[in-house]
Amino acid sequence: MKYEDIKMFSERCEEHPDHQSGMITNSMIQQRLHEEIDELREYIEKRTWIGLTDEEAQQTFAKHNVTISADLAGILARAIEAKLKEKNT
């Protein structure tokens, strides 16, 4: 599933037969929201991590006036990426 494939809540409501008949209950809304949240979680979990190359890391540090070797830039980039992965799982 791609981000573009995720429908807006209003689009999903328009397609649901009970919503078209005007018979909407609070439990139906709660169920729909739970489905939406589950679908978004599934999308997030399937994302592919794209890290920085050592060159991109060095360019990023240089852009912020931090002068370090390409090796150190790569090491720092890997450390930052590892922490971000840890925080986002």
Q: 46-56, pLDDT tens digit by residue?
A: 777 788 888 88
Q: Is the pLDDT of residue 34 over 70?
A: yes
Same domain, 39 and 59: no
User: In the prediction, which pLDDT does 5 show?
Assistant: 65
Helix axes 70-87, 54-63, angle to 10 degrees: 100
Residue 68's Cβ-count burial label (10 Å; 0-12, 13-18, 19+) is middle
Residue type, 81: E
Are 42 and 58 contained in the same domain? Answer: no
The answer on 23 and 42 residing in a single domain is yes
Q: In this predicted structure, what is the pLDDT of residue 12?
A: 67
User: What whole-number distance in Å separates Cα of residue 83 and Cα of residue 56?
Assistant: 18
Number of structural domains (the chain) is 2
pTM comes to 0.45
Q: Give CA separation, 49 vs 7, 40, 60, 66, 70, in Å.
A: 23, 17, 18, 25, 22
**Where does the pLDDT of residue 79 fall: very low under 50, low under 70, confident under 90, or very high at 90 and above?**
very high
CA distance 37 to 76: 34
Domain with 81 in it = 54-87
Q: Are residues 23 and 39 in the same domain?
A: yes
